[in-house]
Amino acid sequence: MTSNRRYFVSLLVVAAILPASACDHVQSALAPRGEEAIAIDVLFWTVTITSVTVTVLVTGLTVVALWGPERWRVQLSQERAIYGGGLLLPVVVLSILLIWALFILEAGASRTRTAGEPAVTITGKQWWWKVAYRTADGREIISANELRLPVGEATAIALKTDDVIHSFWAPQLAGKLDMIPGRTNVIVLEPTEPGVSRGQCAEYCGGAHALMAFHVVAMAKADYEAWLAREAVPARVPTTEKQRAGQRVFLENGCGACHTIRGTDADGTIGPDLTHVGSRLSLAAATLPNDEQAFARWITNNQHIKPDNLMPPFKQFAPEELTAVASYLDSLE
């Protein structure tokens, strides 16, 4: 009895939480803010409404067949009803749905063709995203764990992986597309309004798979171009004594073997590019907030935050060295 009631109560709680959690929308496919996601949303509701209608219809007919008036039951048992409702209706409904879906989703990937050459390449890594923007003059600007896009413009994005299969999924903007070793897939994203949404790796890729997320920032075209121009310049030169000390700590402790900070000697390519890390919305692939404490935590304790990631723990710093390097990284906007 009690266990039954408890089960029922927990079901109620789950039922109450589910819609609530969908309410912040940053990672909800039901709050589309991109052309692709809007198409998916339309299709989703079409199929859902059709399915509900068919279910109600069938249930109604079943009720009639069991308890309905004699005359209705006779009508239902005729061959006409069987051929019409059992064969013709499904063929018509499903065919309309299929054509509708092909039309909505622009089958044949015509969008991938019309969107032109990929302007962004995202490479999946265990467990973060390398994001490379190609500028108009052909330069490649490397960033990580965050995708910025212009509103109202279809951007083709090449998806690759360096290790295992990942899946790129920004639910507010589009459906999932896998990143497969040895292959380049292309997805097209077109945000319809400015705003920040969240994405997630959608294919199990190892222990820290759940901590492989990212943010998508959709910006007005002019803002986007200004941002990309800022992103293209080398890192900001440290201005305070503390930041200068932090830069020395960074360079002398070998951080540059894996990380690049353009404008310094650090030119490693194993870990994320940190040239403008301070301007990103999160650290460690949308796992930590982007602030000084989070930098310090990640440097000393990253194996607990994201077990088995490639970065070794760096615990050799005196407290003032650690705050200095954290402050330096945080200043790289």
Least distance in Å: CB of 42 to another protein?
42
Kindly tell me which of 139 and 315 has the beta carbon lying closer to another protein.
315
Site string for another protein, 183-202 (x = CB under 8 A): --------------------
Count of residues near another protein by CB under 8 A: 23
Residue 132 CB, nearest approach to another protein (Å): 14
Check whether the bond before 127 is cis (ω within 30° of 0): yes
Q: Which amino acid would we find at residue 91?
A: V
Q: Name 258's Cβ contacts closer than 8 Å, sequence gap at least 6.
A: 268, 269, 270, 271, 310, 311
Question: Shortest approach of another protein to residue 142 CB, angstroms?
Answer: 13
Binding mask 74-113 for another protein (x = CB under 8 A): ----------------------------------------
Q: 12, 98, 109, 310: which one contacts another protein (CB under 8 A)?
A: 310
Site for another protein in 311-330 (CB under 8 A): 312-316, 318, 321
CA gap 134, 143 in Å, rounded: 11
**Piece in contact with another protein (CB under 8 A), picked from 16-24, 47-55, 235-243, 305-313:** 305-313
* Sheet (strand 213-219) strand order: 146-150, 213-219, 195-201, 166-169, 177-179
User: In whole angstroms, how close is the CB of 244 to another protein at the nearest point?
Assistant: 11
Residue among 148, 157, 192 at smallest CA distance from 177: 157
Single out the residue of 140, 153, 162, 193 in contact with another protein (rule: CB under 8 A): 162
By beta-carbon proximity to another protein, the closer residue of 62 and 301 is 301
Structural element, H or E, at residue 178: strand 177-179
Closer residue to another protein (CB): 290 or 309: 309
Nearer to another protein among residue 97 and residue 165 (C-beta): 165
Q: What are phi and psi of 34, to 5 degrees?
A: -150, 150
Closest distance to another protein from the beta carbon of 279 (Å): 24
222 binds another protein (CB under 8 A): no
Euclidean distance between CA atoms 172 and 269, whole angstroms: 30
Q: Which one, 279 or 300, has the nearer CB to another protein?
A: 300
Q: How far apart are CA 158 and CA 117, in angstroms?
A: 9
- Report, in Å, the least distance between residue 187 CB and another protein: 24
Which residues 6+ apart lie within 8 Å of 224 measured at CB?
Answer: 148, 149, 150, 151
DSSP 28: -
CB of 311 to another protein, least distance (A): 8
What radius of gyration, in Å, describes the C-alpha atoms of the chain?
26
CA distance 303 to 96: 53
Which residues in the 227-286 window bind another protein by CB under 8 A?
245, 248-249, 251-254, 256-258, 265, 268-270
Separation of alpha carbons 182 and 36, rounded Å:
26
Binding site for another protein (CB under 8 A): 162, 245, 248-249, 251-254, 256-258, 265, 268-270, 310, 312-316, 318, 321
